[in-house]
Amino acid sequence: MEDAARGIPHSASLSTRDFHRLSHFIYDTCGIKMPDVKMTMLEARLQKRLRALNIPSFSAYIDFLFSAQGMEQELVQMLDVVTTNKTDFFREPDHFQFLTQRVLPEWSERHPGARLSLWSAGCSTGEEPYTLAMVLSEFAQKTPGFDFQILATDLSTRVLEKARNAIYQESQVEPVPMELKRKYLLRSKDRTNHMVRIVPELREKVRFRRLNFMDDDFGMRDQLDIIFCRNVIIYFDRPTQERLLNKFHRHMKPGSFIFMGHSETLSGLDVPVVSVYPTVYRRPR
């Protein structure tokens, strides 16, 4: 079947050989493992790139991707398509309770008048950093002199654009408590438009940028007080997880915390942190 608008096959097939070429490249580029069971998923996700570029086969697409022009023009597009971005407001809520009840009071007592620096690593479409901004803003209102700044990063430029826009469907913000919705979400004047936007005061507290965890240098010169890297390392093999977490460690201040996803564990990894709460770890002072 031909795509009449483009004159290319409607559905090109991904051969085992081409899948392995791509999966090895994806692993080397961003650390994400693509086992054979992901072949159908990868084929389906990349079909749209072949059609957009008017390329008739996966073999030709890979040749283009690996060319100098492809590295410049298509690499980011390809990674945007293959990366998984699943997130929610107030996901794994006990982490935010631990943050407000233990971490923030202790930090503010030790650092009066200082600015807390927090990194949302793998921020996707922004639900996590904006949740953190709400929680930290609530704490700031009760704690004179407390201030904060959030860095939010992701590999995907597509999700970062959505995060910067900070516009969500009303159904997406259902986990946000009503009192926080009233304070931090703006509704459209058109009541038939079921969308909300994060208020400017919170948007100003979050700085978004693209970052690849496989880069040797994350481009950060300051050390951080708190890192949220939840439900990210599950896509990496154990050696890659260990290398990545030791990179994170280099950016953690003594006594700082790193929050992992509930399905993730650092058990068996050689990383100089200690467990202080389920899937929360601390760099010793």
Distance CA 183, CA 86 (A): 25
Q: Across the beta sheet with 147-154, what order do the strands follow? A: 206-210, 147-154, 115-121, 224-229, 252-260, 280-282, 274-277
The alpha carbon of residue 90 and the mean position of all alpha carbons in its chain are separated, in whole angstroms, by 15
Report the C-alpha gap between 204 and 115 in whole angstroms: 15
Report the C-alpha gap between 158 and 181 in whole angstroms.
26
Going by their DSSP bridges, the two strands 195-198 and 167-169 should be labelled as antiparallel
Q: 64-70 contacts: CB < 8 A, separation 24 or more?
A: 65/25, 66/25
pLDDT at 5: 41
- Coil, strand, or helix at residue 282? strand
Rounded Cα–Cα distance for residues 107 and 112 (Å): 8
For residue 204 the two structure tokens come to 């100003």
- pTM (2 d.p.): 0.81
The ranges of the chain with pLDDT < 70 are 1-11, 84-85
Tell the residue number behind the tokens 């890192």, with chain if given: 227
> Are the CB atoms for 104 and 55 separated by under 8 Å?
no
Please give the positions annotated as active site.
Answer: 45, 154
- Looking at residue 118, what is its pLDDT? 98
Burial of 99 (0-12, 13-18, 19+ CB in 10 A): buried
Residue 181, token pair as written in the block: 């919705």
Domains of the chain with bracketed CATH: 2-82 (1.10.155.10), 94-167+198-282 (3.40.50.150)
Give CA–CA dist 75/120, Å, rounded. 24
Q: What are 105-125's pLDDT values in tens digits?
A: 999 999 988 999 999 998 989
Tell me, what's the pLDDT at 45? Answer: 86
In Å, the largest CA–CA distance within the chain is: 67
pLDDT value, residue 115: 95
Instruction: Dump pLDDT digits (tens) for 9-20.
Output: 456 788 999 999
What pLDDT is stored for residue 129 in this prediction? 97
Whether the CB-CB separation of 186 and 197 falls below 8 Å is answered with: yes
What is the predicted pLDDT for the residue at 6?
Answer: 44
